[in-house]
Structure 1
Amino acid sequence: MTLSSDGIRLSVLDRSRTREGEDGSQALRDTVRLAQRVEELGYHRFWVSEHHSVPGVAGSAPTVLAAAVAGATSAIRVGTGGVMLPNHQPMVVAEQFGVLESLFPGRIDMGLGRSVGFTDGIRRALGRDRDDAERFGEQLTELLGWFTGTQTAHPQVHARPAEGLRVPAYVLAIGEGASIAAVAGLPLVVGDLRGRERMLSAIDAYRSAFRPSAWAREPYVVVSGTVAVAGSEEAARRLLIPEAWSLAYSRTRGVFPPLTPAERVEELTMTEKQRGFFESGLRGHVYGTEEQVGEALERVVKESGAQEVLVTTSTYDRAALLDSYRRLARVAGMAGPADAEG
């Protein structure tokens, strides 16, 4: 199976996960380096994320990091997966993307989410409330209006240099958020691959309610999730272990920790509750050999009708992660110069 033969795009979202014994600056620099490598491999776009007050994630300012990624690359599309719009004033978001698009014309994506800070303390620090997520549709309309010059929330105010520019906007959502994307006539990014029925239901609802707009004439679906490829199914599964343990630890300790080597995790004595969360964190992802992953992704694309797959894999071993992306590029028939070691 060759995804490229069906016109399916393959992209990457990196969350700038920290590793045990390393600091945030190392994680951010490695995100930029990974972007350079996946550009060489032929991936369509590279996105970065927004997380606040999470010990294991360094990516807290996605537009700043996107600028660093765009400056270090030359052709790959760069964007956010996503800017959490309820955390920000729409005008400021428009200005930031206007600057990015002005500096890197034709390469910037504006991925937008509706989540707000996940604890009361974070929300207070951001000056936001849990209910702000319910205003996502209103905020999205205002944000797009800053680019078109049609926003009415603040008469005689203009977002410079955003006004007049067209930065492609994507909505990261499921459920109600998918409906908002449909009404706005925007592409939808939906995940994860583990919740297949919920994902497919959201996609069906999105397509049914989609209204053509100046931003997109037809529905466009990006499915996102973890994809790990290695020389054997077991080796690919081991790539999932560090993230699965971090999730299990966060569910039982309330803190999302840096990634730990797989071999260390395998030696841990887990409580019954931790073991349950850990095993759950390993299930439902797409992983295996190149042939196995190719077949699995073919099913995902066939079931969803997606035009693009956004890979969100995190693991401790960066060399193994790059190898996974290299193998995945071969699965998609797009491996470039970085197919060689390096």
Structure 2
Amino acid sequence: MTRPSLPSTLDPRGTGPLGSRLRVGFITHLDQHDDLSRIYRDNIRLIQGIEELGYDSAWIATRHFFSGWAALPSPYAFLGAAAVSTSRIALGTAVLPVVLDDAVRVAEDLAVIDHLSGQRLLAGLGKGVPSDSFHVFEAYHPDRDGTFEAKLDTLDWALRGNTVEGGSASIWPPAPALEGRQFAGSSNIESIRAAARRGIGLILERFGNGPERTPEARRAFQQRQADSVVEYRRVFAETWGDARTPYVITSRSAFPGTTTDAALAEASETASRWNSFAAQLGRLDPSLSVPEQFLSDNFAWGDPRALADDLLADPTVALTDELVLGIHPVTHSIDQTLEKARVLIEQVVPLVEEGWRAARAEAGTAEAVTVS
């Protein structure tokens, strides 16, 4: 199935026909194997493959210290390679921990990639997965929230190509259009409100934190995210009116199989490494059954219909402009991952989009969607 192409620029600031269809992305954590001599090249091939399948966007997890086996601490070189290896698909960071970097240098790197890709970059920006080792970075400051807002201010200033105060040089190359393709990644409601006031997009993580990581808390976590989207849209509309358009991206794990039992059996085997690792960190209860562990991780599985129903039962999905799917935390080869991505885009996504359209039509408009 071939899906409609993205325009060259996704611009949440415009008043275009956002919400006319559900945009769909795919995310990789670059965790398919441990051979660093080829993991990056393999994932370039993965992105080329999902572009051919018709996905709107490709997202890469960016994490320091090999956290969760995510093998990409810095996205810039990889995104440059992806930009010249593809022609249509949008390229996103999920998310770039700007609190640890020099914001002017970030602006320079992002601007180069955006021009190189033909304005296909989607800049997901965040604070990074918490670590007790972040103090090794010279730019680190323990006030993560305050630092994040300050970095975004500097980033915006630099992307406009402004002249340096007290100097004669200007930041180059400018990429002011990238302001419309920035997305704040945060679970903190104040940071979400700040993103709305700033007029940028919002990107939501796939799983909860702490006490939310239990089977019983899964639906409550999803409801909390849905409530945060409603609040984001409220503050956005209050601040900007019709001058800018809010844009919400939601990430979810979705593992398809020929039957729901087959999907569970396969996922149980291929996620065993991750579940053992998460249990050691106290993120999963090893006494739970494998299905319960998956639910704790907000991991959905099933045949296409069951998987679509599970995704549509999540109230956040109806509020989302772009749904980013992935099969993490399972360990599959690139070819196996591409096959799962094919099943998702060809068999699961049409069912999800049908329900997504119905939910938004019932609500009247994308911005008017509410949750019970």
CA contact (8 A) 2:93 2:122 kept: yes
Q: CA shift at 1:111, angstroms?
A: 1.2
Task: Report the equivalent of 1:63.
Answer: 76
Deviation digits for residues 38-94 of structure 1 (CA, Å, limit 9, x no counterpart): 101100011212111126221111122111212221111112112111011110111
Gaps of 5+ in 1: 257-271, 335-342
Instruction: Write the letter of the residue equivalent to 2:96.
Output: V
Check if 1:202 corresponds to 2:228: yes
CA contact (8 A) 2:223 2:314 kept: no
Q: Which residue, 274, 294, 297 being the options, matches 1:246?
A: 274
Q: CA shift at 1:297, angstroms?
A: 3.0
Q: CA shift at 1:98, angstroms?
A: 0.9
Task: Report the equivalent of 1:327.
Answer: 343
Q: CA shift at 1:239, angstroms?
A: 5.0
Instruction: Kindly tell me the number of residue pairs found equivalent between the two proteins.
Output: 313
For the residue of structure 1 that corresponds to 2:59, the secondary structure is strand
Q: CA shift at 1:282, angstroms?
A: 0.7
Q: CA shift at 1:240, angstroms?
A: 3.9
Instruction: Write the letter of the residue equivalent to 2:119.
Output: G
Q: 1:159 to 1:216 in 2, by over 3 A?
A: farther
Q: CA shift at 1:276, angstroms?
A: 3.8
For the residue of structure 2 that corresponds to 1:309, the secondary structure is strand
Q: CA shift at 1:304, angstroms?
A: 3.8
Q: 1:76 to 1:245 in 2, by over 3 A?
A: same
Q: 1:123 to 1:294 in 2, by over 3 A?
A: same
Q: Counterparts of 2:264 and 2:84 in 1: how far apart (Å)? A: 34
Q: CA shift at 1:247, angstroms?
A: 4.5
- The farther-off stretch of 132-141 and 181-190 is 132-141
Task: Report the equivalent of 1:48.
Answer: 60
Task: Report the equivalent of 2:43.
Answer: 31
Q: 1:149 to 1:89 in 2, by over 3 A?
A: same
Q: Counterparts of 1:126 and 1:227 in 2: how far apart (Å)? A: 38
Q: Which residue, 244, 248, 256 being the options, matches 1:217?
A: 244
CA contact (8 A) 1:172 1:188 kept: yes
- TM-score calculated relative to the size of structure 2: 0.74
Q: Counterparts of 1:298 and 1:291 in 2: how far apart (Å)? A: 10
Q: Counterparts of 2:292 and 2:135 in 1: how far apart (Å)? A: 29
Instruction: Write the letter of the residue equivalent to 1:185.
Output: G
Check if 1:104 corresponds to 2:117: yes
Q: Which residue, 184, 190, 203 being the options, matches 1:171?
A: 184
Check if 1:11 corresponds to 2:28: no
Q: Counterparts of 1:302 and 1:58 in 2: how far apart (Å)? A: 29
Q: Counterparts of 2:75 and 2:274 in 1: how far apart (Å)? A: 22
For the residue of structure 1 that corresponds to 2:140, the secondary structure is coil
CA contact (8 A) 1:190 1:199 kept: yes
Task: Report the equivalent of 1:337.
Answer: none
Deviation digits for residues 100-138 of structure 1 (CA, Å, limit 9, x no counterpart): 12212121111111226612x343245513324432112
CA contact (8 A) 1:184 1:213 kept: no
Q: Counterparts of 1:118 and 1:312 in 2: how far apart (Å)? A: 24
Q: Counterparts of 1:130 and 1:18 in 2: how far apart (Å)? A: 33
Check if 1:118 corresponds to 2:97: no
- TM-score calculated relative to the size of structure 1: 0.80
Q: Counterparts of 1:292 and 1:142 in 2: how far apart (Å)? A: 45
Q: CA shift at 1:251, angstroms?
A: 4.2
CA contact (8 A) 2:163 2:171 kept: no
Counting only pairs closer than 5 Å after superposition, residues 134-283 of structure 1 correspond to structure 2 as 134-149=146-161, 158-166=170-178, 168-175=181-188, 176-192=190-206, 194=218, 195-210=221-236, 217-241=244-268, 242-243=270-271, 245-252=273-280, 273-276=285-288, 280-283=292-295
For the residue of structure 2 that corresponds to 1:75, the secondary structure is coil
Q: CA shift at 1:294, angstroms?
A: 2.4
Q: Counterparts of 2:311 and 2:274 in 1: how far apart (Å)? A: 25
CA contact (8 A) 2:24 2:325 kept: yes
Instruction: Write the letter of the residue equivalent to 1:217.
Output: R
Gaps of 5+ in 2: 5-18, 208-217, 352-372
Instruction: Write the letter of the residue equivalent to 1:306.
Output: T
Q: Counterparts of 2:166 and 2:343 in 1: how far apart (Å)? A: 50
Q: 1:127 to 1:135 in 2, by over 3 A?
A: closer
